[in-house]
Structure 1
Amino acid sequence: MRHIAYRLSMSLLVITSLLVSQGVYAKQPQPARKLHDESGGYRWILDIDAAFIRVDKNLFGNDRAVYGEHSDYWYESALTFGGSALWDFNLAGNIYADLAGLYTGSARYNAGGGNINNKYINRLDFYQAAIGWQSGDLFDIGRNALRISVGQQKFTLGTGFLIWNGGTNGGSRGDTWIAPNQTWRLTGLVDLAIGDDYQINVFYLSPNDSPDTRTQLGGINLEFTLDENATFGVTYIDIFDSNDKTRENTRTYAFRYSSKPLGENSLAISSEYAFQNRPNTQGDQNAWYIEPIWHFGGPANVRLSYRFASFEEGWDPLYYGGSDWGTWYQGEYLGEFILTNENLESHQARLVFNPVSDWTINVIYYYFLVHNLNRGQFANAQSRMTERSLAQEVDLIAEYHVTEQLSLTFEAVFALPEEGGKQWSGGDELTTQGLASISYSF
C-alpha cells in the first residue's frame, strides 16, 4: 500500500500549496488538540482522573453465564503528565511541540467483560508526542491560518459521530469509562481556515488500537458557515490499509448540518448522514441522526432535546466518541460497556439544567431497538431473537464544578431489558449502576 500512502501525502502537499497560493484572508483554526498559547514559552500538562463504579445485576443478571465472570464493582484511574512548548519566529511562523505520558490503573472486572484476563492493570504509555508548525503572519493570510503537524496526538471531527477516539480503552489497557487513550498513534494533519466561512482539514491517521491492526486511513473534511446561525460539513474517509481485512478499502462519505433557525437561545438542530461502502463485507450501509434542541433559558438555563439515531447492520462504527454525555457512547451503562453503534436504533430524550451556577444536572432516557434481528452484534444471542425492542436506560448525572480545574461527577443509572434484550442477553432483571468520579486538570 506504499503507493496509496504516497499518493495521499502528495495530495496533502498539493492541496496545501493551492490553498496558500490563493492569498485569501483566513482566520485561525481552533482544533481541539491545541495545548499551548500564542505567547510562546512552556506549559506543564497534568490531568488526574479517578472513578469508582458499582453495578448490580450486570447484563440484566446474566453476566457470569455470558462472560464467565461476574462484575459488581471496579476502580479506574488515569494520570496524564508532560509539557508543551511554543517557539515564535515572527514572520517565519511558530513551531510547537507536545510530549506527554499516560499512567492507567484499574482493579477488578468492568461491566463489559472486556478485561476478564486483566483483573488488575497498571501501565505506563506515551500519550502524546507531536510537533507542528503554524503560519503566524506569514503569507499575509491571517494569524496562524495554516497549521501542519505530525506525530501522536488527538484529532476529532464534528460531534464524534465518526472520528473522535484514536486509541483503544478497556481490555489490557483498562479504564473503559474514563477512556484516557484518545490520541492516534501517528497523524499527519493540515488545517486551513479561509475567511470566516470555510475550514479545511486534510488528515492521515493510524489508530492506537489494541490489538494493533496496523490500520491506516486518510481523508478530507470541509466545514462551511452558511450564516451566523448555520453550518454545513462534508467528510470523506478512506481506510486504505488494515490487517483487519473486513475494514480495508472501507470508504465513508458524511454530511453534517447544524443550525439555530430562530437565533440564539431558542431552537437548535444538529444532524448528520453518513454513507459507507465496504467492498470486503456487507457492501453499502447508512448511519444518521437528527437532534432538535430547545433552549428555554431562565435562571436554570434549561435545555430539552430529542435525538433519533440509526446504524445499519454491517456499519463500521469507525472511531466514534464525543465530549458530551451520550455522544456517541449512547448510555452510561449500555453505551459504555455493552452495545456498539452497529445494527442499532436509538431514541434519546434529554433534560439539562443548572440549579445553581456550580452544578449541572442531566436526566437522559434511551430506548434501544435492533435494526436486523440475529445479525451483527446480536448474531450470538443467548436465544433466537424475535423482537426488535432491546432495552431502556435512564441516566441521572450530577456534575459539581468545584473550581475551573476540579470537578466531581455522580451517576445513578437504570437499565431494563425489553423482550428482545431478554432473548439476546439471557437476563431479565433490572441493572443498576452507581458512579462517583473526580477530575483535575492543571
Structure 2
Amino acid sequence: MTFAWIGSARAQSYGADLGFLSLPVETVTVTISNPRAEQAYNDKVTDGFRKYLAVYPGDYFSPNAAEFAIAKVRRNPEIANVTYTYALGRAGGLDVSFTITLATRGNSSFEGRGFLITNNKAELPVLYDKDGTYVRAKLEALSLTYANNNAWFGQPDQMLAGNPLVQGKPAGKGYSQWVEGFLHYGIYGITPVNDNFYVYGGLSSISSGSKGQELFTDQTRGYTFFEDAYAGFITGKTDEKGNRLSFNFSAGRQKFQLANAFLIANTAANGWDRAALQANARWAADMLVLAQLRYNSTKFEAFYVEPDELPVINTNTGLAGVNIEARPISGMMTGASYVTALKGDYAYYGPDGQVIGTRDGLNVYDLRATYTPNPPNAPGPFFGIEGAIQNHRDFDMFATAGYAELGYSFIDKTWSPSISYRLGYFSGDDPDTETYERWDPLLSGGNGEQWVQGSSMFKVVQDSNVIAQRIQGRFRPLPTVEVVPQLWAFTAPSLDNLGGNPALSFLDSHNYGYEANITVKWFPNPNWYVHGMLAYTVPGEAVQDALDHKADDWFAAMLFVRYSL
C-alpha cells in the first residue's frame, strides 16, 4: 500500500509550460490564397475544412494532429495545398491561421514534399508528405536552470522527513541552484487505408539529465527511455449539409489531459532517477486507451489511463472515465465527466492515522462551463465555473472540489491587459464525522496557469485540503511577449491534514501562507520559446507553528529555453 503523502509527492514538480504544445486555441482563421469568383464555393471550402480539421477555441493545439488533418485534406483534388502558422493570442492562448491553395479546376498541383522525396534538408522535419501519407521527425531540446533561497522554508529535515525522493542532500536553508535539460526525439506518421479511414502512430524517446543542488538531491543523474509509443485510427464522414462526424481511437504510451487539467494532466512523473524535475520532460502515460467521437463542435470521449509513475512511489493507479463537451452558444463551453479508479494503492487516512481505504473504488463526478468574449479577440468579461464530488464504492466518502473565476479582458488597450480572480476549493477531512471528506487530487496539475497552484506552495500543499485564492493579470508589451503576474493566498478548510505533507499533518491554524510570482514568456518564432519565472512565498501561521517558528521566506527563480522542430 502506498502512503497518501508519498503519492502526492509524485506531482511536486513545477508544471513547465512547454510553449505552444500546452496552450488552448483562441482563434482559428481559414483563408484561401487564390479564391475563386464564386463566393459560395469559397465559403463551402473553408467551412468544410474547419469541420474536417475539428479544432475549436478552447481545444489544446496539437501540431501533429494539424499536420495529419492537412495531409488528409490534400487528397481532395480541388485543394492543392494547405499551410498554417500560429502565434500567441491576446488572452494567453493561441491564434492558428490556415491558408488553403485551391487547385486549378480539379488538377492538384501538390506533388509531394519531404526530405525522403526531395532530399532537401530545408524541408525537415517533414520526411514524407504525399497522397495523404505524412511522416515527420520530432526534435525538441530544453535547457533549464533553477535557483532557490531557503527551499522548503529553510527546513528540509522536517518538510522532507521520510520522503523517498530524497537522495543525498536536498536543498534547504540558503542559496542553491541546479541545471537540467532533455532531448526528445522521435517519428510520427499517418497514412490512408481508404478515403475515410486513416491509421497513425508515433514513437519517441527522451534523454534527460540534472546536475547541481536540486530540491530533493545533489546527485548528478541521466536517464533515457521511451516516451510516446502509440498507434490509432481515425475515420469519419461529412453529410450533404456539411456536418462532420468523426471517430478517433488510439492506444499506447501518450500524453492525456482531461479538459482543463482539473482532474487529469500529469500522466507521467519526473525527477528522482529520471532527472528533469522542474522541466517536466515526461508526460506520456504508461498506457492510454482513448476513443473520441466528435460531431461538429460536440465531443464525447472514453478513456483508460495508467500514469507512468516513479517506481519508488508507484501508486498502481488505473483510471477509467467518460467526458462530453459541447458549445451551446458562441463563446461558451460546457462539459461533464465521470472518472472511476479501477485500481490504486494511494491511501486515505482517518483522524487517528488509520488507513480507511485506498483509491481503488473511487468515483468522481464533474460539471463545468466557461465563457470567453465573442469574438475571442474582443474586450469583455470571461468566466469559468466547475464543481466535482467524490465518493467510494467501499466506504463512506463525500469529498468536494470546485472553482469559480471571473475576469475582464481589455485587449483593445495598450499591452492588451486582462485581470481575473479565481477561488479554488479542495475539501479536507472533518475528524468529527464518520464520512471521509478529503479530496483526492488524482493527476491534477498541468502548468502554472492551470492547477499548479503557486510555484513553490504547490510543492508543499498540493490540491487537497486547500482553499486557493488567485489574482492573475496578463500583459502583452510585445506581440511575442506575455507577462503573467499572480498573487496567491492559501488556507486550509480543515485542521486535520493527514494525507498531506507529514510535517503539516495536524495544523494549529488555517493559514498556509502567501505567494507572489511573475512569469515572462517570449515566443520569437514557432521553433523557439523562452520562459522565466520568479516566485516569493511567505509561510503562514500553520507552517510557522509546524516548523517551530523557524520557517523562512522562500524565493525561487527559473529560466528555460526550448527549441523544437
Name 1:35's counterpart in structure 2. Answer: 64
2:300 to 174, 189, 200: 200
Alignment correspondent of 1:187: 288
Q: Which digits, 9 at most, give the CA deviation of each residue in 1:253-291, with x for residues without a partner?
A: 000111137864311111211111135577110010111
Could you say which residue in structure 1 is the equivalent of 2:86?
none
Match of 1:229 among 331, 336, 344: 331
1:320 counterpart residue number = 444
Task: Give the drift of 1:339.
Answer: 2.4
The letter for the 2-side match of 1:290 is A
CA separation in 2, counterparts of 1:96 and 1:287? Answer: 37
Shift of 1:440: 1.2
Q: Distance in 2 between matches of 1:100 and 1:383?
A: 41
- Relative distance call for 1:374 and 1:199 in structure 2 (3 A) is same
CA drift of 1:62 comes to: 1.4
Residue from 347, 370, 377 that aligns with 1:258: 370
- Flag the structure with larger Rg: 2
Is 1:362 the counterpart of 2:477 in the alignment?
Answer: no
Give the 3 Å change call, closer, same or farther, for CA 126–302 of structure 1 in structure 2: same
2:424 alignment partner in structure 1: 309
Q: In structure 2, how many angstroms separate the alpha carbons of the residues matched to 1:288 and 1:382?
A: 23
Query: Contact 2:497–2:505 at 8 Å: present in 1 too?
Result: no
After the TM superposition, which of the residue ranges 144-153 and 123-132 deviates more from structure 2?
144-153
State the shift of 1:28 in Å: 5.0
* Aligned partner letter, 1:276: Q
Q: Does 1:46 align with 2:139?
A: yes
Match of 1:18 in 2: none
Which residue of 2 is the match for residue 210 of structure 1? Answer: 310
Offset, 1:357? 1.7
Q: Distance in 2 between matches of 1:373 and 1:46?
A: 48
Residues 295-331 of structure 1: CA deviation (Å, up to 9, x unaligned): 01123110101111011122111111225x3311111
Partner Cα separation in structure 2 for residue 142 and residue 103 of structure 1: 44
**What's the Cα RMSD here?**
2.5
User: Any unmatched runs of 5+ in structure 1?
Assistant: 1-25
CA contact (8 A) 2:499 2:505 kept: no
Question: What residue in structure 1 maps to residue 12 of structure 2?
Answer: none
Q: What secondary structure, in the 3-state scheme, does the structure 1 residue paired with 2:552 have?
A: coil
Superposed counterparts of 1:24-423, under 5 Å: 29-30=54-55, 32=60, 35-36=64-65, 37=67, 38=69, 39=71, 40-67=133-160, 69-71=169-171, 72-111=176-215, 113=216, 116=217, 119-137=219-237, 145-196=246-297, 198-211=298-311, 212-244=314-346, 246-260=358-372, 264=376, 265-279=379-393, 283-297=397-411, 298-313=413-428, 314-323=438-447, 325-335=448-458, 337-378=459-500, 380-381=502-503, 385-423=507-545
CA distance in 1, matches of 2:506, 2:361: 33
Query: What's the TM-score, normalizing by structure 2?
Result: 0.68
Report the residue type matching 1:123 in the other structure.
Y
Deviation at 1:176, TM superposition (A): 2.3
SS of 1:355 mapped into structure 2:
strand
The alpha-carbon deviation at position 382 of structure 1 amounts to 6.5
- Cα separation, 2, equivalents of 1:280 and 1:425: 36
Residue 45 of structure 1: CA displacement? 1.1
- 2: CA distance between counterparts of 1:372 and 1:277? 19
CA-to-aligned-CA distance 1:382-405 (integer Å, 9 cap, x gap):
696321111111112112222221
- Relative to structure 1, the CA distance from residue 303 to residue 282 in structure 2 (aligned partners, 3 Å threshold; closer, same or farther) is farther
Number of the residue aligned with 1:7: none
Q: d(CA) in 2 for partners of 1:190 and 1:139?
A: 22
User: 1:343 corresponds to which letter in structure 2?
Assistant: N
Cα distance change of structure 1 residues 221 and 383 upon mapping to structure 2, 3 Å threshold: closer
Aligned residues: 411
The letter of the residue matching 2:144 is A
Q: How far apart are 1:215 and its partner, in Å?
A: 2.3
One-letter code aligned to 1:159 = N
* Helix, strand or coil at the partner of 1:227: coil
C-alpha contact (below 8 Å) 2:155/2:547 kept by paired residues? yes
**What SS does the corresponding residue of 1:429 show, helix, strand or coil?**
coil
Measure, in 2, the Cα distance between the counterparts of 1:53 and 1:377. 28
| 8 Å CA contact 2:182, 2:209 repeated in 1 | yes
Can you list the C-alpha shifts for 1:407-432, whole angstroms capped at 9, x where unaligned? 11222211111111212344332211
Q: Which amino acid aligns with 1:155?
A: F
CA contact (8 A) 1:343 1:377 kept: no
Instruction: Tell me if the contact between 2:491 and 2:510 (Cα under 8 Å) persists in the aligned partners.
Output: yes
Q: What whole-Å deviation, never above 9, does each CA across 1:238-266 have from its counterpart, x for those lacking one?
A: 11123446110111000011113786431
Structure 2 residues without counterparts, runs of 5 or longer: 1-50, 72-132, 162-168, 347-356, 429-437
The separation in 2 between residues aligned to 1:255 and 1:399, in whole angstroms, is 31
Structure-2 separation of matches of 1:166 and 1:188: 13
Q: Is the 8 A contact 1:47 1:439 kept in 2?
A: yes
**Overall identity of the aligned pairs, in %:** 20
The Cα shift of 1:142 comes to: 5.7
Cα distance in 2, alignment partners of residues 121 and 281 from structure 1: 42
